[in-house]
Amino acid sequence: MKRADASLEFNGSSGMPTRGALTIRDLVKIYDPEGVNIMAVDHCSMQITPGEFCMIVGPSGCGKTTLLNAIAGFHSITSGEIFLDDKLLCGPDKPIAAQGADRIVVFQNGALFPWKTLAENVAYGPMVQGVLSKRNALAKAHEMLAEAGLGEFGGKYPGEVSSGMARRAEIVRALINRPKVLLLDEPYRAMDGLTKSIMHEALLEIYDRTKVTIFFITHDLEEAIFLGDRVYVLTTRPCRLKKVVNVDIPRPRNYEVLSSEPFRLLVEETRDAVHEEAIKAFQLGERELA
Amino acid sequence: MVSVSEVSRPIGIARSRRSFLRRTLGRQEFWRGCVAIVVFLILWEIGSRSGEWFGYTLPHVGLLPPPSDVAVAWSKVLMKWGYWESWYQSFKRVLTGFIAAQIIGIPFGLMLAVNKYFRDIFFPPFEVLRPIPPLAWVPASLIFWPTNEMSIAFVTFLGAFFTIVINVLGGARTIDVRYLRAVQSMGASQWDLFWRIILPGTLPSIFTGAAVGMGITWEVVVAAEMISGGGTQGGGGLGFFIWNSYMGGSLPQIVVGMISIGIAGYLSSTVIRMIGRSAMPWRKLF
């Protein structure tokens, strides 16, 4: 499997990752439904290094998805700026980032096109961007699916495979575009514990090979510590950075990590921070923002 | 010993090679349907022959011709050129109206779905015209169009058109925003967005619209044929065939016409289902 041009290895996986630094500076987002200003994000700053596996946690409705939408270019920002490497995504003169294949989102409920097979789904990006011909794109898609352990399922439709496989194929569909950062919005939320653990190990394996920057939103603190390099705890609305937890558990990680002492301590540390904010959110009686 | 993979593969291939007929005959559902039809025919025969059930008189049922009489009438008619001419006429009108409605309705519905200005301009008049039943258009179109043939085709067109447009519009508007976002973030052009996402995403609704529209087309064509009186020659379509039998007082022949329309409608929707299945291979799973 190890080859020099293997398609799942592109971000300096041999040495230090070089692409995908995400800088968020003084980000403010004010929603304005019917003239009532709601501040969703209040001067939030983050510095995510190239190739970082970054986990975002915080109480429900705190503005995690608002951050993701701003990075992906789905929604505008009010002020502040976001850089990807040296490129200004959005800033004072450019409230909404242009959508692009350097930042690809994997959605909560999955967004594989049901009318395309897994291979056709994966081949979609390079094909529409005109990077590869249809034939080459499909060949590469099959190759990458095989690398992700989905080799025999390339010809199946998303409805024919399990949700875990579909989610894995969706990550492959994102990676074929060689994005600088992968944006994941609670991708495993609806899964049972067993499937989730399999998905975690599969994602870690992909991450260890690609070293692509990952921006991962979750509610699950154990998931956050198990997967991430750093865990960014956000405050309740308006969203600010409350705390950064450095996870210094060495990679590659496997499930034995879950029962280790350092893991337990890190989860506790994170839980204390999140719990405080969750109580504040509860007392404010905030409903979850969609 | 034979391994599992060796066994399962030839079965899979053999199944796809077996003919459609043999597959149908091998299915329990098929035989259940046959039994249901036979039992229905027997009950009908007894009912209309005796005019009573277990001592209770059945009102008016005696007037209904028993299926055996219908079969006799049918066998006579089968030899006649006029009967098949009726089939041909009705099918021709249905297909003309239906295909025209697809050709105009699908792009119109998609335009309504994707373009706000187009929707603002064309949706209100569309919604005013939509509730008018196709048959209410018959007198006006008889006056408007130069030939009977054209006015019947126009009315059948209307029958299918509104259903198709509403289905296409609804289908395209409910495509999940996640797909659109995924496409845009992968750098697709508007063209790709339309051909690879909106169109396949709308296909299920297009086929639902086609199936419903086809049913309405048959309803409308028969009524329009009765009203307009069909052509000047013997063959005025199946609707005119029924009307003619009624005027001639041949009860069994009326039923022959009715069942013929049933069969024609069934054939039409089977064809649509088959096309739909091959156009949307991913839908076999649901």
pLDDT score at B10: 41
HSE-up of A237 (CA within 13 Å, CB side)?
23
What digits encode the pLDDT tens for the residues A113-169? 988 999 999 999 888 888 888 898 899 899 888 888 888 888 889 888 888 888 888
Chain mean pLDDT for chain A: 83
pLDDT at B203: 92
Question: Tell me, what's the pLDDT at B108?
Answer: 95
Distance from CA of residue B62 to its chain's centroid?
Answer: 32
Residues of A in contact with B282 (CB under 8 A): 114-116, 157-159
- C-beta atoms of A115 and B181 within 8 A: no
Q: What pLDDT was estimated at residue A287?
A: 53
What are the residues whose beta carbons fall under 8 Å from the beta carbon of B155, sequence distance 6 or more? B97, B134, B135, B137, B138, B141, B220, B221, B224
Looking at the partner chain, which of A100, A114, A128 has a beta carbon nearest the beta carbon of B282?
A114
Q: What is the pLDDT of residue A11?
A: 66
So what's the pLDDT on residue B100? 95
ipTM over 0.90: no
Q: Residues A115, A119, A122, A126: is their CA dihedral positive or negative? A: negative
- Shortest CA distance from A120: residue in chain B: B196
User: Which residue, among B178, B182, B206, has the nearest Cα to B192 in the 3D structure?
Assistant: B182
Across the interface, whether the CB atoms of A72 and B181 are under 8 A apart is answered: yes
**CATH 1.10.3720.10 holds for B65-285:** yes
Flag if B186 and A177 touch (Cβ within 8 Å): yes
Cis amide bond preceding A238, omega within 30: yes
Assessment of whether the complete model's pTM goes beyond 0.80: no
Q: What is the largest CA-CA distance in chain A?
A: 57
A225-284 pLDDT per residue, tens: 888 888 898 888 788 888 888 888 888 888 888 888 888 888 888 888 888 888 887 777
Q: Name the residue in chain B with its Cα closest to that of A175.
A: B186
Q: Please give the average per-residue pLDDT across A204-229, as a whole number.
A: 88
- Taking chain A, what is the end-to-end CA distance rounded to the nearest angstrom? 42
Helix/strand/coil for A60: coil
Output the pLDDT for position A4: 36
Are A221 and A274 in contact by the 8 Å Cβ rule? The answer is: yes
CA distance B161 to chain A (A): 26
- The answer to whether the Cβ–Cβ distance between B185 and A160 falls below 8 Å is no
Chain B positions touching A177 (Cβ under 8 A) are: 186-187
Which helix (H) or strand (E) is A135 found in, with range?
helix A134-147
pLDDT in tens, chain B (286 residues): 344 343 344 444 444 556 777 877 878 888 898 999 999 999 888 877 876 666 677 666 557 788 888 899 888 888 888 888 888 889 998 999 999 999 999 999 999 998 899 999 999 999 999 999 988 988 898 888 888 888 888 999 999 999 999 999 999 988 888 888 888 888 788 888 888 889 999 999 999 999 999 999 998 888 888 877 655 544 478 888 888 888 888 888 899 999 999 999 999 988 998 899 888 888 764 4
Instruction: Please report which helix (H) or strand (E) contains residue A43, including its range.
Output: strand A38-48
Q: What is the pLDDT of residue B207?
A: 92
Cα distance between residue B80 and residue B254, in whole Å:
16
Chosen for mutation from A128, A129, A160 (greatest number of chain B CBs closer than 10 Å) is A128
How far apart are the CA of A116 and the nearest CA of chain B, in angstroms? Answer: 8
- Residue A5, pLDDT above cutoff 70: no
Of A24-38, A151-165, A185-199, which has the strongest mean pLDDT? A151-165
CB pairs < 8 Å spanning A and B: 68
A-chain residues near B280 (CB < 8 A): 115
In chain B, where are the structural domains located? Answer: 4-21+24-51, 65-285
**Per residue in A166-182, pLDDT tens?**
888 888 898 888 888 99
Residues in A touching B187 (Cβ below 8 Å): 99-101, 125, 128-129, 177
Residues of A in contact with B181 (CB under 8 A): 72, 74, 99, 105, 107, 111
* Model pLDDT, residue A99: 81
Contacts of A109 in chain B (CB under 8 A): 178
Render chain B in DSSP notation, one character per residue. ---HHHHHHHHHHHHHHS-HHHHHHT-HHHHHHHHHHHHHHHHHHHHHHHSEETTEEPTTGGGSPPHHHHHHHHHHHHT-HHHHHHHHHHHHHHHHHHHHHHHHHHHHHHHHHH-HHHHHHHHHHHHHHTTS-GGGGHHHHHHHSSSHHHHHHHHHHHHHHHHHHHHHHHHHHTS-HHHHHHHHHTT--HHHIIIIIIHHHHHHHHHHHHHHHHHHHHHHHHHHHHHHT--SSS--HHHHHHHHHHHTT-HHHHHHHHHHHHHHHHHHHHHHHHHHHHH-GGGGG-
Tell me which residue of B94, B117, B124 sits closest to B222, measured CA to CA. Answer: B94
